């Protein structure tokens, strides 16, 4: 019996469709399952120029509420990598790269903290949600005051007491300068018979902590490392500007492994100039250029010297480019079109933005991407920059929030000066804003999200998509989908 299935569409035939599709518009149709998850091999190299391979195809976005050294460290520890955003000044951006390159196991640069006047019940909530038994206590100026440890209080009797009533004071903590050698820090913990070490700067401000458990237990079997065994770290730059030369010097001096040219529209003379500048400063530096959304732009970027191309204009959940400007091809179509054009030169593309559920990553790779880039998956995790803010949910429960801002939101533009969107010096209130800000409940360690993304992708590839590698998933001729609307 010949069953007609005209609603099945092969990924390789996306170019024949007369409709624009977002990832959420489709579901992948399952294929025969003939192997296990353990047989899925995700190691890949984005470019021949890259001196490293990764085993995790989801890269944190280069956003100022996503990617500084803490995120870069954990991205590489989990087999991916990240790039420090360009909203920082050249010197500070270089320092963030340096922190990643100098990372040693066990250091936690941005742990959850509490103020002394909050109730013990809040510490208990943190312990139940994240498993943290020790929480540093700081004041509003970020000066370390002590630490609340699980042995300090009773969940039965002390929930309404304040943290200050039960915390361990500074005199009973092991405290070191943030510049101490990691090996010496560990030796001091062993000698003093303590499980935690707290770092402060010269003014007493809290800078991070180390735990013996984290140092002694390796939870990261496949970190992304350079040829010297250090964690990989990238950095982003914009187009031509007053500090491009200084920024490139700082990034090269601090040994960045890859540079991302991060612009709203990558098919521009500014990006062409920036590619040439990077090549002049460091000919061997891999360059990710973007963002673009069509084959013509891809071909120009390749002609200019881009090694990897970032694809996506307007699809992000906090991006309003499509609404405000009217530009942008839906992501499934743009990824397919750009990947087809890039294949001609052996260039990889990264699908940037537009992801909602974890299953969307597989859709982007099936359309031709080598990797995915997202802020959405990593927002409001412990390793993101920014202050924790306190509030209440709809039921009146105490909540902790972090800001998640599009790079063209008023908040991000105010912080960066608006250079990415050609708005330097223009008051934010006079700009056609192309992004927005969300306050997101704190979500815990980013390691959990990396793990969920990886296990979801490997399960889908083994059980549903019949693909053992990234290349197989992105080129499988039998893989098809159904349009839900």
Helices (H) and strands (E) in the chain, counts: 15, 21
Token pair in block for residue 182: 């990691």
* Residue among 379, 420, 442, 443 flagged as catalytic: 420
d(C-alpha 130, C-alpha 194), whole Å: 21
Handedness of CA 228, 233, 236, 237 (dihedral sign): negative
Nearest to 22 by CA among 336, 323, 324, 354: 354
Kindly state the helix (H) or strand (E) to which residue 449 belongs, with its residue range.
helix 446-463
For residues 347 and 446, the answer to whether their CB atoms sit within 8 Å is no
Token pair in block for residue 127: 């312990």
Strand partners, 398: 392
For residues 282 and 257, the answer to whether their CB atoms sit within 8 Å is no
Token pair in block for residue 53: 């391979």
Active site residue 338: no
Contacts for 380 with CB less than 8 Å, ≥ 6 apart: 401, 402, 404, 440, 441, 442, 443
Tokens 């350079």 correspond to what residue? 226
* Residue among 233, 319, 338, 442 flagged as catalytic: 319
Q: How many residues are present in the chain?
A: 485
Strand order in the sheet with 389-392: 389-392, 398-405, 437-441
Active site residue 420: yes
Alpha helices in 291-358, H assignment, sequence order: 295-304, 321-324, 331-343
d(C-alpha 467, C-alpha 464), whole Å: 8
Catalytic machinery residues: 319, 420
């Amino acid at each position: 019996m010949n069953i007609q299935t005209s609603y099945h569409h092969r990924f390789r035939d996306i170019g024949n469709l007369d409709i624009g599709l977002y990832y959420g518009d489709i579901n992948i149709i399952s294929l025969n399952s003939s192997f296990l998850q353990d047989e899925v091999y995700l190691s890949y190299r984005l470019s021949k120029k890259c001196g490293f391979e990764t085993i995790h195809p989801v890269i944190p976005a280069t956003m100022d509420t996503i990617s500084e050294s803490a995120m870069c460290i954990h991205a590489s520890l989990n087999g991916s990598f990240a790039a420090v955003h360009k909203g920082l000044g050249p010197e500070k951006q270089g320092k963030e790269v340096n922190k990643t390159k100098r990372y040693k196991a066990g250091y936690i640069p941005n742990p959850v903290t509490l103020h002394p006047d909050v109730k013990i019940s809040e510490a208990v909530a943190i312990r139940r949600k994240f498993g943290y038994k020790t929480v540093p206590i700081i004041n509003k100026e970020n000066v370390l005051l002590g630490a609340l440890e699980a042995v300090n209080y009773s969940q039965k009797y002390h929930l309404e007491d304040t943290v200050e009533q039960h915390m361990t004071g500074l005199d009973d903590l092991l405290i070191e300068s943030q510049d101490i050698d990691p090996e010496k820090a560990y030796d001091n913990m062993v000698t003093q018979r303590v499980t935690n070490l707290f770092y402060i700067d010269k003014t007493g401000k809290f800078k991070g902590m180390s735990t013996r458990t984290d140092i002694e237990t390796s939870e990261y079997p496949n970190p992304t490392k350079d040829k010297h065994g250090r964690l990989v770290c990238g950095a982003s730059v914009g187009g031509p500007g007053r500090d491009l030369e200084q920024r490139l010097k700082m990034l090269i001096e601090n040994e960045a492994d890859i540079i991302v040219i991060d612009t709203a529209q990558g098919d521009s003379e500014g990006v062409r100039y920036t590619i040439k500048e990077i090549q002049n400063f460091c000919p061997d530096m891999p360059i990710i250029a973007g963002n673009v959304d069509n084959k013509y732009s891809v071909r120009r970027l390749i002609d200019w010297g881009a090694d990897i191309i970032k694809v996506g204009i307007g699809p992000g959940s906090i991006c309003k480019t499509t609404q405000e400007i009217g530009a942008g091809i839906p992501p499934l179509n743009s990824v397919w079109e750009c990947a087809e054009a890039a294949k001609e030169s052996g260039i990889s593309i990264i699908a940037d933005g537009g992801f909602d559920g974890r299953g969307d990553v597989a859709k982007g790779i099936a359309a031709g991407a080598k990797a995915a880039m997202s802020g959405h998956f990593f927002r409001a995790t412990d390793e993101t920059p920014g202050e924790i803010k306190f509030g209440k949910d709809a039921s009146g429960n105490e909540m902790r929030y972090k800001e998640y801002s599009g790079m063209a939101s008023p908040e991000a533009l105010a912080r960066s000066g608006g250079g990415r969107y050609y708005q330097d010096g223009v008051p934010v209130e006079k700009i056609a804003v192309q992004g927005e800000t969300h306050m997101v409940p704190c979500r815990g360690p980013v390691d959990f999200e990396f793990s969920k993304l990886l296990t979801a992708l490997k399960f889908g590839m083994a059980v549903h998509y019949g693909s053992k590698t990234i290349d197989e998933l992105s080129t499988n001729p039998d893989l098809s989908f159904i349009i839900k609307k």
